[in-house]
Amino acid sequence: MSVTGGNNTVSDEKTALRRILKISKWEIRRFAGTMDKGLIPIVAALFILLVVAMGFANSSGIHLEDNVYTVFTDSDESIKIIGFDSRFVIYKVPSGYFSQHPQYLLDPQYRDAFDLIVSGDTVTTSGTDRGNAALLAFERDYSRYKIAFYNRQKDLYAAYPVWIDEKEVESVIDFTATQMGRAAFSYSNPYRVPRPANIIEIPLPSEEIEVPVEELRRYLIADEGSDPTISRYTDILKSGDLDVIPYIVPSQMSASLPFDTIVLVFVFIFPLYFTSQFFMMSIMNERIDRRGEILLSTPVSPWMIIAGKALPYLAMMSLIAVALILYIRADLIIFLPLFPVILFFLSAALLIGMIARSFKELSFISIFFSTVASSYIFFPAIFANIHVISQISPLTLIIYQIQGDGFTAEEYLYSTIIFYLVSLVIFWFAVKNYNGEKLFMQHKILTALVEFVDGVISKRYVNTSLVFVAICMIPFVFLMQLMLLVLLFNFPMPLSLIMIMLSAALVEELFKSVGIYALFLKRPDYMTWKNLAIGAFAVAVGFLLGEKLLLFATLAEISESVFGAVMFSSLQVLWLPLILHFVTTLICGSVVKVCGLRLYILGIIAAGVVHTLYNLYFVLGVFG
Amino acid sequence: MKINSRNCRLVAKKEFKGLINEKTIVLALLLQLFIAMFSSFLLVGLASMYNPDAMSKYSKMKYPIAYAGETSHLYVKLMEDPNLIVYPMELSPAVSALSERQLAAVVWVPRNMEETMNPMKVTIYLIENDIQSGIVSAKLKSVLTDYETELRDARSDRLTAMPVEMRMPATNPAGDFYEFVYGVLIPLLVFMPAIISGALIIDMITEESQNKTLETLMSTPVSFTDMVWGKILAAFLLVPLQAGTWMILLILNGIYIGGFLEILMHISIVAFILILIAATFAMRYRERTNAQFMFSIATVVVLVFALSIPMNSGNIIVRLATGSIGAEHMIVLLPMLAVAMGLSYFVTMYSSRLAQKL
């Protein structure tokens, strides 16, 4: 079939699409072929067992925290409060026991043998950490008991005389004023009478409670929850009632630490990660069987092969995500923040599948990756509703949505762009390196990664490539630095700043110099002093460009804080950071040039120190 | 079928050497430990942030708030709180001051309903997405709950019955942290090595057949059963090593862990059972994807089942860590050992049967 000029691109696109779909079809057939035929009945049986197991767990409860606390009680009433709670081992004696045996209340030797002692209506604790936790558990049970009691009182306004309407106010001062870390706690002088610079008239909220009393009761009862040993793990999945609770009573104020968001990691993140393993294996198998070679010898280009192979898994993971969302009866919009996570897992699976030397290595790298990825996704989400830092995690958006608050397009961009960009860059690197030479090499992981970088640097336009590689490194730098921020920001203030500053500088220097390092490793003859200097300049230009682009697009909020300032060089002056990037890259490259590849790490440290000094001087003005 | 223990040791040694030669594995483990360390740092810091009183430094911390609207006993109660400094203000200036961060919160009471049949409506303004708001909100909560109790007592003649009264000392919200560490973090970190080793044994066994090195190995005096048991040994030994390191790190972070050795004992036997299950799948399918897939589902099923049984190993580990169990934890070892022995016998028989087919 002959194609004339104008239609060329259209038909090219068509063939490309047709080829990708064809490879997808092969991949599905291959996948079905890999899976043992005898597997289906066993999988079905296991799934039935799983449903049975879940039913069993539902009826008998999760017995993980059983019998952790001991209670010694002479009060029948206390049994009403904690009798159902399997966390407590209850030793019950007839009432009045402690007036005959006062040593249990007075002598520490007797007293501290139990976490809690309930004598009549008085609860005492041993004062140990476990005793305190037991007391807290008792208090929760007690308030649950009281709430259940009051919720059923005929006169609800006598049972609950105070109703609270919580309103949130946006802070007009940016985050440079009250810093994360210690500064967030303190007011310079709480005794100074507040005098707002600008008084903005706000409409007076209504003086009455406009909701009918039985409606309020309905909310209260819905909020009670069921078996706490199970609801502890499942409550987080409950979508907020479609209509948000308008008023709360004091005991409902300030939710406890949302550590339990870890449940969301198990529900959403792990199944997706798990499915990405199939893709990883498929890539690894191509390398073991050397079947990949056959496809490579056809006119199909690498990007089509990868796209075609990834497509079925993308579809599979999307379907699983949707199924999970439907299963917990949440809003389908949750799929939006999950999608970049899916892409991220797929790209990581591709990369790991391409570089692992053995199954064991594959397992370990992927376990390592999943730990890092889930920490990155989980830990910021702890701060959901508390601090803006939480928004770097897509999981926070899911929490918002489940709470019924929803999220804006801006928030979406902010918390997902790094995931999108990182996945994109990894895919691109993989495409560039998807060839016989690279697929069948057996290098150590780090060497393999450097080989990949080298694979992207063109033979002729080295410096243009370096600019490009530097731009591509930016999302990784941001990813790592945001992670460091999350990990380090709750150390005491001066220490956290110093640690973040140093580690951020080291991360930046590492990624900045990786292109230069790859050239030293693979093309030592090319790396003359002159070419090193030009290359360093190219890296500096690329880095600056990428940094500005990404900062401009998104991370304004974090970049405006002191932490941001040391992590990402400031936006105002362009030539200063350009010189910084050039000098530090040159330092690192020179160390390698003079001392050899083995002392690369020394070069990074030297460059990192210079970078830190620069930050101290220009950003924080320490020496000035 | 006899197992040659010398051959097993040889295979195990070879596997260990392989693990160490591929330095990435050591690296991956180290980095994982690093993350565990930081995550517990983070959590400890977080707990102290939520409960600033726990750190004496913060107990003198004072938060300026504004009170707007009709005066009430709530105003008096807020004034009495040592952590709050209350400024009576008009609503609009107060909210403006709040958004300029001159205040930590604004309380607005439109009308004093204390003496009436009607509810008191209180509007509270806080800064959104702010750690400090969380702390102030906790302070306000305690004042408001007190106030609620006071008003409820005044209205008690309208209640048909009264709940049981309990008096207890003030609680410490760090208790949440306690249950997270002992109820989630420790079981998770301790069980992870067991699951990793299960995955590892699959890699070790399927690698031999997928790389076609099995035939070479079979031509040596090492029998198929020896090989399987050698690999099981290698995967098994990693478990106490890893779990122990996790726990030592947690201890270094100031988290108390009772019964260190006992926990290692329990997790080792759990791991042994999981490894045997995994080895069975690996021998059955001799292909990584299938075996890992089946093993993962089977693990979920086994874990969900196990957790629903009282006195399961997870519960025993939690209680050992919190120091709330005596020697009775040994009872659990018996049925677990029985399961492990049954599975061991099965794995030995199954592997020798397979060896004949090969």
pLDDT tens track for A271-302: 898 889 999 999 988 888 777 667 777 778 88
Q: Are residues B217 and B277 in the same domain?
A: yes
pLDDT tens track for A347-364: 999 999 998 888 888 888
Q: Do A360 and B19 touch (CB under 8 A)?
A: yes
> Which residues 141-170 of A have a C-beta within 8 angstroms of B?
142, 145-146, 149-150, 153-155, 157-170
The CA angle A175-A179-A181, to the nearest 5 degrees, is 145
Q: B244: closest CA among B309, B304, B194, B289?
A: B194
B108: domain CATH number is 3.40.1710.10
Q: Are residues A361 and A488 in the same domain?
A: no
- d(CA B91, nearest CA chain A) in Å: 8
- Mean pLDDT along residues A22-39: 83
Q: Are residues B241 and B293 in the same domain?
A: yes
Q: Is residue B167 part of a domain?
A: no
d(CA B6, CA A207): 84
Q: Which of A1-15, A252-266, A321-335, B282-296 has the lowest mean pLDDT?
A: A1-15
Q: Are residues A353 and A291 in the same domain?
A: yes
Q: Do A81 and B164 touch (CB under 8 A)?
A: yes
- Mean pLDDT along residues B275-304: 92
Q: Is residue B234 part of a domain?
A: yes
Q: Are residues B37 and B186 in the same domain?
A: yes
A561 has a pLDDT exceeding 80: no
Q: Are residues A508 and A386 in the same domain?
A: no
Q: Is residue B339 part of a domain?
A: yes
A175 has a pLDDT exceeding 60: no
Let me know: does A149 contact B78? Beta carbons within 8 Å: no
Q: Is residue B32 part of a domain?
A: yes
Q: Which of A411, A441, A456 is the last residue of a domain?
A: A456
Q: Do B123 and A205 touch (CB under 8 A)?
A: yes
Name the domain count of chain A. Answer: 3
Q: Do A185 and B61 touch (CB under 8 A)?
A: yes
What residue numbers bound the domain in which B196 lies?
A: 5-47+175-357
> Which residues 191-210 of B have a C-beta within 8 angstroms of A?
196, 199-200, 202-204, 206-207, 210
Q: Are residues B148 and B234 in the same domain?
A: no
- d(CA A519, nearest CA chain B) in Å: 23
Confidence of residue A481 (pLDDT cuts 50, 70, 90): confident
pLDDT of residue A37: 76
d(CA A153, CA B161): 8
Q: Which of B131, B158, B185 is the last residue of a domain?
A: B158
Q: How many CB pairs under 8 A join A and B?
A: 417
Give the DSSP per-residue string, B72-92: -HHHHHHHH-TTEEEEE--HH
A253 has a pLDDT exceeding 90: no
d(CA A71, CA A582): 67
- d(CA B230, nearest CA chain A) in Å: 16
pLDDT of residue B245: 84
> Which residues 69-88 of B have a C-beta within 8 angstroms of A?
85, 87
Q: Are residues A378 and A445 in the same domain?
A: yes
Q: Are residues B237 and B332 in the same domain?
A: yes
Q: Which of A59-68, A442-451, A481-490, B59-68 has the lowest mean pLDDT?
A: A481-490
- d(CA A162, nearest CA chain B) in Å: 5
- Mean pLDDT along residues B46-52: 53
d(CA A23, CA A300): 10
pLDDT of residue A545: 86
pLDDT of residue A182: 31
Q: Is residue A387 part of a domain?
A: yes
Q: Which of A399, A424, A456 is the last residue of a domain?
A: A456
- Mean pLDDT along residues B48-55: 48
Q: Which of B158, B185, B212 is the last residue of a domain?
A: B158
Confidence of residue A339 (pLDDT cuts 50, 70, 90): very high
Percentage of residues in chain B having pLDDT higher than 90: 38
Let me know: does A501 contact A436? Beta carbons within 8 Å: no
Let me know: does B33 contact B245? Beta carbons within 8 Å: yes
- d(CA B6, nearest CA chain A) in Å: 24
Q: Are residues B38 and B117 in the same domain?
A: no
Best mean pLDDT range from A44-48, A335-339, A598-602: A335-339
Q: Are residues B65 and B194 in the same domain?
A: no
The CA angle A233-A237-A240, to the nearest 5 degrees, is 130
Q: Do B39 and A375 touch (CB under 8 A)?
A: yes
Q: Are residues B190 and B326 in the same domain?
A: yes
d(CA A388, CA A395): 13
Q: Are residues B209 and B329 in the same domain?
A: yes
- d(CA B349, nearest CA chain A) in Å: 21
Looking at chain B, which residue has its C-alpha nearest residue A124? B168
d(CA B147, CA B74): 6
pLDDT of residue A389: 63
Name the domain count of chain B. Answer: 2
> Which residues 243-282 of A have a C-beta within 8 angstroms of B?
247, 249-251, 253-254, 256-257, 259, 262, 274, 277-278, 281
Question: Which of A48, A58, A63 to mutate to probe the B interface, most B CBs <10 Å?
Answer: A63
Q: Do A257 and B183 touch (CB under 8 A)?
A: no
What residue numbers bound the domain in which A315 lies?
A: 259-456
Q: Are residues A467 and A379 in the same domain?
A: no
Q: Are residues A309 and A435 in the same domain?
A: yes
Q: Is residue B187 part of a domain?
A: yes
A173 has a pLDDT exceeding 60: no
Interacting residues of B240 by C-beta distance below 8 A, sequence separation 6+: B264, B267, B268
Q: Are residues B28 and B80 in the same domain?
A: no
Q: Do B96 and A199 touch (CB under 8 A)?
A: yes
Let me know: does A334 contact A341? Beta carbons within 8 Å: no
A231 has a pLDDT exceeding 80: no
Q: Are residues B258 and B331 in the same domain?
A: yes
Q: Is B306 on the interface with A (CB under 8 A)?
A: no
Confidence of residue B174 (pLDDT cuts 50, 70, 90): low
- Mean pLDDT along residues B65-80: 92
Q: Are residues A468 and A426 in the same domain?
A: no
- d(CA B112, nearest CA chain A) in Å: 10
pLDDT tens track for B133-149: 767 887 888 899 899 99
Q: Is residue A435 part of a domain?
A: yes
CA atoms within 13 A on the CB side of B261: 2
Average pLDDT, chain B: 85
d(CA A332, CA A303): 31
Q: Do A257 and B173 touch (CB under 8 A)?
A: yes
Q: Is residue B52 part of a domain?
A: no
> Which residues 328-357 of B have a C-beta within 8 angstroms of A?
none
Let me know: does A424 contact A432? Beta carbons within 8 Å: no
d(CA B75, CA B109): 9
Q: Are residues B220 and B342 in the same domain?
A: yes
Q: Find where tokens 């420790």 sit.
A: B186
- d(CA B105, nearest CA chain A) in Å: 9
Q: Is residue A187 part of a domain?
A: no
pLDDT tens track for A91-135: 999 988 988 888 888 888 888 889 999 998 899 998 888 998 999
**DSSP code for A6:** G
pLDDT tens track for A367-423: 888 878 887 787 777 666 555 566 778 888 888 787 667 788 878 887 888 889 899
Q: Which residues in chain B have Cβ-Cβ distances shorter than 8 Å to A80?
A: 164
Q: Which of A101, A120, A153 is the last residue of a domain?
A: A153
Q: Which of A188-197, A446-455, A534-543, B219-228 has the lowest mean pLDDT?
A: A188-197
Q: Is residue A466 part of a domain?
A: yes
Q: Are residues A402 and A497 in the same domain?
A: no
Length of chain A equals 624
Q: Which residues in chain A have Cβ-Cβ distances shorter than 8 Å to B212?
A: none
